[in-house]
Amino acid sequence: MNAPANDRARAARHLVRIIVDGKTTDQTFGLDPVKQPSPLCQELVFGTLRYYFSLNEAVEKRLSKALRSKDLDLRLLMLVGAYQLRYTRIPDHAAINETVNACRPLRKPWARSLVNAVLRSIAQDVDDEKTECSFELPDWISGRINSAYPAVAADVMNGLLGRAPMSLRVNVSRTPPAEYKARLDEQNLSWQAGLVPEHIVLNTPVPAAQLPGYAQGQVSIQDGGAILASGLLDPERKLAQQSNCRILDACAAPGGKLFHLAESVAPAELVALEINSRRLEHLCSEAARLGFDSIRTLQADATDTSWWDQRTFDAILLDAPCSGVGTLRRHPDIKHLRKIDDLADYQQLQLSLLRNLWRTLATEGTLLYCTCSLFQEENDNVVQQFLNETHDARAQLISAPVGQRTEHGWQLLPRPVNDANLAASVDGFYYARLRKISDNQERPG
Protein backbone atom coordinates (compact mmCIF):
# COMPACT_ATOMS: atom_id res chain seq x y z
CA MET A 1 0.00 0.00 0.00
CA ASN A 2 1.33 3.45 -0.89
CA ALA A 3 2.58 5.94 1.70
CA PRO A 4 -0.25 8.50 1.30
CA ALA A 5 -2.89 5.88 2.08
CA ASN A 6 -0.85 4.61 5.02
CA ASP A 7 -0.58 8.15 6.43
CA ARG A 8 -4.36 8.43 6.37
CA ALA A 9 -4.80 5.02 8.00
CA ARG A 10 -2.25 5.95 10.69
CA ALA A 11 -4.07 9.22 11.30
CA ALA A 12 -7.34 7.31 11.81
CA ARG A 13 -5.63 4.95 14.28
CA HIS A 14 -4.15 7.87 16.23
CA LEU A 15 -7.59 9.45 16.39
CA VAL A 16 -9.06 6.22 17.77
CA ARG A 17 -6.52 6.34 20.59
CA ILE A 18 -7.47 9.92 21.36
CA ILE A 19 -11.25 10.01 20.83
CA VAL A 20 -12.07 6.47 21.92
CA ASP A 21 -9.26 5.48 24.30
CA GLY A 22 -8.78 8.91 25.87
CA LYS A 23 -5.06 9.25 25.10
CA THR A 24 -3.43 12.65 24.62
CA THR A 25 -1.56 13.61 21.47
CA ASP A 26 1.65 13.49 23.52
CA GLN A 27 0.88 9.92 24.56
CA THR A 28 -0.02 9.00 21.00
CA PHE A 29 2.88 10.68 19.18
CA GLY A 30 5.53 10.85 21.90
CA LEU A 31 7.22 13.91 23.38
CA ASP A 32 10.37 14.12 21.27
CA PRO A 33 9.79 16.76 18.53
CA VAL A 34 12.32 15.02 16.28
CA LYS A 35 10.71 11.56 16.48
CA GLN A 36 7.23 12.43 15.25
CA PRO A 37 4.96 10.84 12.62
CA SER A 38 5.19 12.17 9.08
CA PRO A 39 4.19 15.83 8.60
CA LEU A 40 1.12 14.73 6.64
CA CYS A 41 -0.03 12.35 9.38
CA GLN A 42 0.41 15.05 12.03
CA GLU A 43 -1.47 17.57 9.91
CA LEU A 44 -4.38 15.16 9.44
CA VAL A 45 -4.62 14.30 13.15
CA PHE A 46 -4.35 17.84 14.50
CA GLY A 47 -6.56 19.30 11.78
CA THR A 48 -9.28 16.72 12.29
CA LEU A 49 -9.23 17.31 16.05
CA ARG A 50 -9.34 21.08 15.53
CA TYR A 51 -12.48 20.91 13.36
CA TYR A 52 -13.87 17.69 14.80
CA PHE A 53 -17.39 18.85 15.63
CA SER A 54 -18.35 20.22 12.22
CA LEU A 55 -16.55 17.38 10.40
CA ASN A 56 -18.35 14.80 12.50
CA GLU A 57 -21.69 16.46 11.79
CA ALA A 58 -20.98 16.42 8.06
CA VAL A 59 -20.11 12.72 8.08
CA GLU A 60 -22.90 11.61 10.43
CA LYS A 61 -25.67 13.14 8.36
CA ARG A 62 -24.45 11.25 5.30
CA LEU A 63 -24.57 7.84 6.96
CA SER A 64 -27.86 6.04 6.49
CA LYS A 65 -27.25 4.07 9.69
CA ALA A 66 -24.81 4.23 12.55
CA LEU A 67 -21.58 2.30 12.20
CA ARG A 68 -20.84 -0.55 14.57
CA SER A 69 -18.68 0.34 17.56
CA LYS A 70 -15.83 -1.78 16.17
CA ASP A 71 -15.89 0.35 13.00
CA LEU A 72 -15.30 3.72 14.66
CA ASP A 73 -11.93 3.83 12.94
CA LEU A 74 -13.85 4.09 9.65
CA ARG A 75 -15.88 7.05 10.89
CA LEU A 76 -12.66 8.76 11.96
CA LEU A 77 -11.07 7.94 8.61
CA MET A 78 -14.00 9.69 6.93
CA LEU A 79 -13.41 12.71 9.19
CA VAL A 80 -9.79 12.69 8.03
CA GLY A 81 -11.03 12.71 4.45
CA ALA A 82 -13.51 15.51 5.16
CA TYR A 83 -10.76 17.59 6.76
CA GLN A 84 -8.65 17.29 3.62
CA LEU A 85 -11.55 18.39 1.45
CA ARG A 86 -12.44 21.40 3.57
CA TYR A 87 -9.20 22.72 4.97
CA THR A 88 -6.22 21.60 2.89
CA ARG A 89 -4.93 22.26 -0.61
CA ILE A 90 -4.88 18.57 -1.45
CA PRO A 91 -6.88 18.14 -4.68
CA ASP A 92 -10.29 16.60 -4.04
CA HIS A 93 -9.64 13.57 -6.23
CA ALA A 94 -6.39 12.78 -4.40
CA ALA A 95 -7.91 13.31 -0.96
CA ILE A 96 -10.83 11.01 -1.77
CA ASN A 97 -8.83 8.29 -3.55
CA GLU A 98 -6.09 8.01 -0.92
CA THR A 99 -8.60 8.04 1.95
CA VAL A 100 -10.59 5.31 0.22
CA ASN A 101 -7.36 3.35 -0.29
CA ALA A 102 -6.67 3.64 3.46
CA CYS A 103 -9.51 1.17 4.08
CA ARG A 104 -7.10 -1.63 3.14
CA PRO A 105 -4.40 -0.96 5.79
CA LEU A 106 -7.28 -0.64 8.26
CA ARG A 107 -8.26 -4.15 7.10
CA LYS A 108 -11.72 -3.02 6.04
CA PRO A 109 -11.69 -3.08 2.23
CA TRP A 110 -15.45 -3.73 2.26
CA ALA A 111 -15.95 -0.06 3.31
CA ARG A 112 -14.33 1.48 0.23
CA SER A 113 -17.60 2.25 -1.53
CA LEU A 114 -19.12 3.75 1.66
CA VAL A 115 -16.12 6.02 2.30
CA ASN A 116 -16.07 7.04 -1.35
CA ALA A 117 -19.77 7.97 -1.36
CA VAL A 118 -19.61 10.00 1.86
CA LEU A 119 -16.53 11.96 0.80
CA ARG A 120 -17.83 12.69 -2.68
CA SER A 121 -21.01 14.08 -1.16
CA ILE A 122 -19.01 16.30 1.20
CA ALA A 123 -16.82 17.50 -1.67
CA GLN A 124 -19.89 18.72 -3.54
CA ASP A 125 -21.10 20.85 -0.61
CA VAL A 126 -17.80 21.91 0.94
CA ASP A 127 -18.23 25.67 0.47
CA ASP A 128 -21.63 25.74 2.15
CA GLU A 129 -20.73 23.85 5.30
CA LYS A 130 -17.42 25.14 6.66
CA THR A 131 -19.00 27.29 9.37
CA GLU A 132 -21.53 24.83 10.79
CA CYS A 133 -20.00 24.70 14.30
CA SER A 134 -18.78 28.10 15.49
CA PHE A 135 -15.36 28.01 17.14
CA GLU A 136 -15.42 24.17 17.30
CA LEU A 137 -15.66 24.13 21.11
CA PRO A 138 -17.81 22.17 23.56
CA ASP A 139 -20.58 24.33 25.04
CA TRP A 140 -19.10 24.24 28.53
CA ILE A 141 -15.80 25.73 27.32
CA SER A 142 -17.29 28.41 25.05
CA GLY A 143 -19.82 29.33 27.77
CA ARG A 144 -17.10 29.89 30.34
CA ILE A 145 -14.98 31.94 27.96
CA ASN A 146 -17.97 34.12 27.06
CA SER A 147 -18.69 34.65 30.75
CA ALA A 148 -15.10 35.36 31.81
CA TYR A 149 -13.99 37.50 28.85
CA PRO A 150 -17.14 38.98 27.28
CA ALA A 151 -15.34 41.84 25.50
CA VAL A 152 -12.78 39.61 23.77
CA ALA A 153 -14.44 36.17 23.84
CA ALA A 154 -14.63 35.83 20.05
CA ASP A 155 -10.94 36.70 19.70
CA VAL A 156 -9.98 34.21 22.41
CA MET A 157 -11.98 31.40 20.84
CA ASN A 158 -10.64 32.19 17.38
CA GLY A 159 -7.16 32.11 18.89
CA LEU A 160 -7.83 28.65 20.33
CA LEU A 161 -9.05 27.41 16.95
CA GLY A 162 -6.07 28.71 15.01
CA ARG A 163 -2.55 27.38 14.63
CA ALA A 164 0.19 28.41 17.01
CA PRO A 165 3.32 30.01 15.56
CA MET A 166 6.65 28.21 15.96
CA SER A 167 8.17 29.84 19.01
CA LEU A 168 11.81 29.26 20.01
CA ARG A 169 13.93 29.92 23.10
CA VAL A 170 17.66 30.32 22.57
CA ASN A 171 19.79 28.49 25.16
CA VAL A 172 21.82 31.50 26.31
CA SER A 173 24.22 29.23 28.19
CA ARG A 174 25.40 27.90 24.80
CA THR A 175 24.94 30.73 22.34
CA PRO A 176 24.06 34.45 22.49
CA PRO A 177 20.64 35.27 20.98
CA ALA A 178 22.22 37.64 18.45
CA GLU A 179 24.48 34.87 17.13
CA TYR A 180 21.58 32.44 16.87
CA LYS A 181 19.51 34.98 14.93
CA ALA A 182 22.43 35.39 12.54
CA ARG A 183 22.44 31.63 11.98
CA LEU A 184 18.74 31.74 11.14
CA ASP A 185 19.48 34.48 8.61
CA GLU A 186 22.26 32.38 7.09
CA GLN A 187 19.78 29.54 6.54
CA ASN A 188 17.12 31.90 5.15
CA LEU A 189 14.76 31.17 8.05
CA SER A 190 12.65 34.29 8.48
CA TRP A 191 11.96 35.29 12.09
CA GLN A 192 10.56 37.95 14.40
CA ALA A 193 11.89 39.18 17.73
CA GLY A 194 10.02 37.76 20.73
CA LEU A 195 8.89 38.97 24.13
CA VAL A 196 12.37 38.69 25.67
CA PRO A 197 15.80 38.67 23.96
CA GLU A 198 16.10 34.87 23.93
CA HIS A 199 12.61 34.46 22.42
CA ILE A 200 12.29 34.14 18.63
CA VAL A 201 9.23 33.35 16.49
CA LEU A 202 9.65 31.84 13.03
CA ASN A 203 7.47 33.26 10.28
CA THR A 204 7.22 29.77 8.77
CA PRO A 205 7.49 26.61 10.92
CA VAL A 206 10.14 23.99 10.14
CA PRO A 207 10.80 20.52 11.60
CA ALA A 208 12.81 20.70 14.83
CA ALA A 209 15.69 18.75 13.29
CA GLN A 210 16.12 21.50 10.68
CA LEU A 211 16.70 24.23 13.28
CA PRO A 212 20.35 25.31 13.38
CA GLY A 213 22.05 24.00 16.50
CA TYR A 214 19.05 21.98 17.68
CA ALA A 215 20.99 18.73 18.14
CA GLN A 216 23.71 20.69 19.94
CA GLY A 217 21.23 22.10 22.45
CA GLN A 218 21.38 25.70 21.29
CA VAL A 219 17.62 26.13 21.01
CA SER A 220 14.32 24.73 22.30
CA ILE A 221 10.74 24.95 21.08
CA GLN A 222 8.62 26.78 23.67
CA ASP A 223 5.59 29.07 23.59
CA GLY A 224 6.25 32.72 24.36
CA GLY A 225 3.84 32.68 27.28
CA ALA A 226 5.76 29.86 28.94
CA ILE A 227 9.06 31.68 28.33
CA LEU A 228 7.84 34.45 30.66
CA ALA A 229 7.85 32.13 33.70
CA SER A 230 11.54 32.54 34.54
CA GLY A 231 11.35 36.32 34.59
CA LEU A 232 8.14 36.33 36.62
CA LEU A 233 9.63 34.04 39.28
CA ASP A 234 12.77 36.19 39.59
CA PRO A 235 12.00 39.61 38.05
CA GLU A 236 15.02 41.35 39.59
CA ARG A 237 17.40 38.47 38.77
CA LYS A 238 18.47 38.08 42.40
CA LEU A 239 18.51 34.29 42.53
CA ALA A 240 21.65 33.98 40.42
CA GLN A 241 23.47 36.30 42.83
CA GLN A 242 22.33 34.47 45.95
CA SER A 243 24.85 32.06 47.48
CA ASN A 244 23.70 28.46 47.96
CA CYS A 245 20.43 29.22 46.17
CA ARG A 246 18.02 26.28 45.84
CA ILE A 247 15.17 26.24 43.34
CA LEU A 248 12.46 23.60 42.93
CA ASP A 249 10.40 22.85 39.83
CA ALA A 250 7.63 20.77 41.37
CA CYS A 251 5.85 19.48 38.24
CA ALA A 252 8.75 19.74 35.86
CA ALA A 253 8.06 17.80 32.65
CA PRO A 254 8.43 18.43 29.79
CA GLY A 255 11.03 20.82 31.21
CA GLY A 256 10.91 24.02 29.17
CA LYS A 257 10.45 26.36 32.14
CA LEU A 258 12.99 24.39 34.19
CA PHE A 259 15.70 24.65 31.55
CA HIS A 260 15.03 28.35 31.03
CA LEU A 261 15.58 28.78 34.78
CA ALA A 262 18.80 26.79 34.52
CA GLU A 263 19.99 29.17 31.79
CA SER A 264 19.09 32.19 33.92
CA VAL A 265 20.13 31.35 37.50
CA ALA A 266 23.39 29.37 37.24
CA PRO A 267 25.04 28.31 39.51
CA ALA A 268 21.91 27.78 41.64
CA GLU A 269 20.99 24.24 42.71
CA LEU A 270 17.95 23.05 40.78
CA VAL A 271 15.73 20.16 41.84
CA ALA A 272 13.03 18.84 39.49
CA LEU A 273 10.12 16.60 40.47
CA GLU A 274 8.01 14.63 38.00
CA ILE A 275 5.55 11.91 38.96
CA ASN A 276 5.31 10.29 35.51
CA SER A 277 8.26 8.06 34.63
CA ARG A 278 7.85 8.45 30.86
CA ARG A 279 7.73 12.22 31.07
CA LEU A 280 10.69 12.22 33.44
CA GLU A 281 12.69 10.16 30.96
CA HIS A 282 11.99 12.75 28.27
CA LEU A 283 12.95 15.57 30.64
CA CYS A 284 16.29 13.90 31.37
CA SER A 285 16.93 13.45 27.66
CA GLU A 286 16.26 17.16 27.06
CA ALA A 287 18.51 18.09 29.99
CA ALA A 288 21.34 16.15 28.37
CA ARG A 289 20.73 17.79 24.96
CA LEU A 290 20.79 21.26 26.51
CA GLY A 291 23.77 20.61 28.78
CA PHE A 292 22.03 20.65 32.17
CA ASP A 293 23.14 17.33 33.62
CA SER A 294 23.63 18.93 37.04
CA ILE A 295 19.88 19.31 37.61
CA ARG A 296 18.75 16.84 40.27
CA THR A 297 15.72 14.97 38.93
CA LEU A 298 13.40 12.89 41.07
CA GLN A 299 10.38 10.77 40.23
CA ALA A 300 8.14 11.94 43.04
CA ASP A 301 4.68 13.17 43.97
CA ALA A 302 4.69 16.86 44.90
CA THR A 303 1.55 16.43 47.03
CA ASP A 304 3.66 14.72 49.72
CA THR A 305 7.14 15.30 51.17
CA SER A 306 8.63 11.81 51.10
CA TRP A 307 11.19 13.10 48.54
CA TRP A 308 12.20 16.18 50.56
CA ASP A 309 15.58 16.36 52.34
CA GLN A 310 14.28 19.04 54.79
CA ARG A 311 16.40 21.78 53.20
CA THR A 312 14.18 24.66 52.21
CA PHE A 313 14.00 26.21 48.74
CA ASP A 314 14.51 29.88 47.97
CA ALA A 315 12.13 29.70 45.01
CA ILE A 316 9.56 27.20 43.76
CA LEU A 317 7.98 26.94 40.33
CA LEU A 318 4.62 25.17 40.46
CA ASP A 319 3.31 24.61 36.95
CA ALA A 320 0.23 22.85 38.25
CA PRO A 321 -1.76 20.17 36.42
CA CYS A 322 -4.89 21.80 35.01
CA SER A 323 -7.56 21.61 32.33
CA GLY A 324 -5.05 22.95 29.79
CA VAL A 325 -7.69 24.84 27.83
CA GLY A 326 -5.29 27.72 27.20
CA THR A 327 -3.20 25.44 24.97
CA LEU A 328 -6.00 24.13 22.76
CA ARG A 329 -4.39 25.44 19.59
CA ARG A 330 -1.40 23.16 20.28
CA HIS A 331 -3.38 20.36 21.93
CA PRO A 332 -6.84 20.19 20.30
CA ASP A 333 -7.29 16.79 21.92
CA ILE A 334 -8.02 18.61 25.20
CA LYS A 335 -11.51 19.67 24.11
CA HIS A 336 -12.37 16.00 23.65
CA LEU A 337 -10.70 14.72 26.81
CA ARG A 338 -11.71 17.33 29.42
CA LYS A 339 -15.14 17.54 31.03
CA ILE A 340 -16.66 20.29 33.14
CA ASP A 341 -16.52 18.11 36.26
CA ASP A 342 -12.73 17.93 35.89
CA LEU A 343 -12.37 21.53 37.06
CA ALA A 344 -13.30 20.71 40.65
CA ASP A 345 -10.87 17.79 40.71
CA TYR A 346 -8.05 19.93 39.35
CA GLN A 347 -8.80 22.66 41.88
CA GLN A 348 -8.42 20.23 44.76
CA LEU A 349 -5.16 18.90 43.33
CA GLN A 350 -3.82 22.42 42.83
CA LEU A 351 -4.62 23.37 46.42
CA SER A 352 -3.03 20.16 47.69
CA LEU A 353 0.16 20.97 45.78
CA LEU A 354 0.26 24.54 47.09
CA ARG A 355 -0.31 23.49 50.69
CA ASN A 356 2.36 20.81 50.60
CA LEU A 357 5.03 22.73 48.71
CA TRP A 358 4.62 25.80 50.90
CA ARG A 359 6.15 23.79 53.74
CA THR A 360 9.35 23.40 51.72
CA LEU A 361 9.71 27.12 50.88
CA ALA A 362 12.11 29.29 52.91
CA THR A 363 10.86 32.40 54.68
CA GLU A 364 11.08 35.33 52.25
CA GLY A 365 11.09 32.77 49.44
CA THR A 366 8.92 33.01 46.33
CA LEU A 367 6.52 30.51 44.77
CA LEU A 368 5.30 31.09 41.21
CA TYR A 369 1.97 29.35 40.67
CA CYS A 370 1.03 28.89 37.04
CA THR A 371 -1.46 27.02 34.92
CA CYS A 372 -2.29 26.90 31.22
CA SER A 373 -5.96 27.44 32.06
CA LEU A 374 -8.30 30.30 31.21
CA PHE A 375 -10.70 29.53 34.03
CA GLN A 376 -10.93 31.36 37.35
CA GLU A 377 -11.72 28.09 39.15
CA GLU A 378 -8.13 26.96 38.56
CA ASN A 379 -6.48 30.36 38.83
CA ASP A 380 -7.53 33.27 41.06
CA ASN A 381 -10.01 31.13 43.01
CA VAL A 382 -7.27 28.65 43.95
CA VAL A 383 -4.91 31.44 44.98
CA GLN A 384 -7.67 33.18 46.96
CA GLN A 385 -8.50 30.03 48.92
CA PHE A 386 -4.82 29.40 49.60
CA LEU A 387 -4.30 32.98 50.83
CA ASN A 388 -7.36 32.72 53.06
CA GLU A 389 -5.97 29.70 54.88
CA THR A 390 -2.23 30.49 54.86
CA HIS A 391 -1.19 33.21 57.33
CA ASP A 392 2.33 33.70 55.93
CA ALA A 393 1.41 33.89 52.22
CA ARG A 394 1.18 37.17 50.33
CA ALA A 395 0.41 37.68 46.64
CA GLN A 396 2.70 40.10 44.81
CA LEU A 397 1.82 42.33 41.89
CA ILE A 398 3.22 41.08 38.60
CA SER A 399 3.02 42.20 35.00
CA ALA A 400 4.08 40.92 31.57
CA PRO A 401 4.47 42.35 28.05
CA VAL A 402 1.15 40.78 27.03
CA GLY A 403 -1.98 39.78 28.92
CA GLN A 404 -4.02 41.39 31.68
CA ARG A 405 -3.99 41.76 35.44
CA THR A 406 -6.31 39.67 37.60
CA GLU A 407 -7.12 40.05 41.28
CA HIS A 408 -4.12 37.98 42.37
CA GLY A 409 -2.02 37.44 39.25
CA TRP A 410 -1.71 37.82 35.50
CA GLN A 411 -3.66 36.15 32.67
CA LEU A 412 -2.36 35.59 29.15
CA LEU A 413 -5.04 35.09 26.52
CA PRO A 414 -4.69 33.40 23.12
CA ARG A 415 -5.66 35.63 20.22
CA PRO A 416 -5.79 35.10 16.45
CA VAL A 417 -2.30 34.95 15.00
CA ASN A 418 -1.28 38.27 13.45
CA ASP A 419 1.62 37.98 11.02
CA ALA A 420 2.67 41.53 11.91
CA ASN A 421 3.31 40.52 15.51
CA LEU A 422 3.62 36.77 15.94
CA ALA A 423 5.39 37.13 19.28
CA ALA A 424 2.27 38.53 20.95
CA SER A 425 0.28 35.44 19.96
CA VAL A 426 0.78 33.28 23.03
CA ASP A 427 -0.99 30.35 24.62
CA GLY A 428 -3.34 30.96 27.53
CA PHE A 429 -1.39 31.04 30.80
CA TYR A 430 -2.05 32.23 34.35
CA TYR A 431 0.66 33.34 36.75
CA ALA A 432 0.55 34.33 40.43
CA ARG A 433 3.64 35.07 42.53
CA LEU A 434 3.39 34.32 46.24
CA ARG A 435 5.85 35.50 48.88
CA LYS A 436 6.39 33.69 52.17
CA ILE A 437 6.53 36.38 54.83
CA SER A 438 8.10 36.09 58.28
CA ASP A 439 5.89 35.82 61.33
CA ASN A 440 6.65 39.37 62.45
CA GLN A 441 5.45 40.86 59.16
CA GLU A 442 1.95 42.21 59.14
CA ARG A 443 -0.53 40.66 56.74
CA PRO A 444 -2.40 43.26 54.64
CA GLY A 445 -5.99 43.73 55.67
**What ranges make up the beta strands (E) of 217-360?**
219-221, 246-249, 269-274, 296-299, 313-319
Domain boundaries, the chain: 3-132, 166-221, 225-436
Residue 1's pLDDT is 44
Pick from 132-136, 192-196, 284-288, 322-326: least confident: 132-136
Per CATH, 3-132 and 225-436 having the same topology is answered: no
Identify which of 136, 1, 162 has the alpha carbon closest to the alpha carbon of residue 79: 136
pLDDT of 402 above 80: yes
Tens-place pLDDT, residues 328-383: 999 999 999 999 999 999 999 999 999 999 999 999 999 999 999 999 999 999 99
β-bridge partners, 369: 318, 432
pLDDT-derived band at 427, boundaries 50, 70, 90: very high
pLDDT tens-place string over residues 58-95: 999 999 888 898 999 999 999 999 999 999 999 999 99
pLDDT at 3: 78
Nearest CA to 20 among 87, 83, 75? Answer: 75
Choices 1.10.3470.10, 3.40.50.150, 3.90.1200.10, 3.10.20.740: CATH for 225-436: 3.40.50.150
Residues 241/267, Cβ–Cβ less than 8 Å = no
pTM of this prediction? 0.93
At 244-293, the pLDDT tens digits run 899 999 999 999 999 999 998 878 899 999 999 999 999 999 999 999 98
Q: Please, which residues have CB within 8 angstroms of residue 98's CB and are 6 or more apart in sequence?
A: 2, 4, 5, 8
Which of 245, 322, 370, 372 is labelled catalytic?
372
pLDDT digits (tens, 9 = 90+) for 203-258: 999 999 999 999 999 999 999 999 999 999 999 888 888 888 999 999 999 999 99
User: Average per-residue pLDDT in the chain?
Assistant: 93
Tell me the C-alpha distance between 75 and 79, whole Å: 6
Pairing state between β 393-396 and 246-249: unpaired
Superfamily of domain 166-221: Sun protein; domain 3 (3.30.70.1170)
Q: For residue 126, what pLDDT is reported?
A: 57
pLDDT at site 79: 98
pLDDT value for 332: 96
For residue 128, the model assigns a pLDDT of 54
245 in active site: no
| Cα 437 to Cα 224: distance, rounded to the nearest angstrom | 31
> pLDDT tens digit string along 15-37?
999 999 999 998 888 877 877 88
Cα separation, 154 vs 361, whole angstroms: 40
pLDDT at 445 over 50: no
Domain 3-132, classified CATH 3.30.70.100, yes or no: no
Asked if 54 contacts 136 with a C-beta cutoff of 8 angstroms, the reply is: yes
Distance CA 402, CA 400 (A): 5
Instruction: Identify the three-state secondary structure at position 343.
Output: helix
What pairs with residue 247 in β-bridges? 270, 315
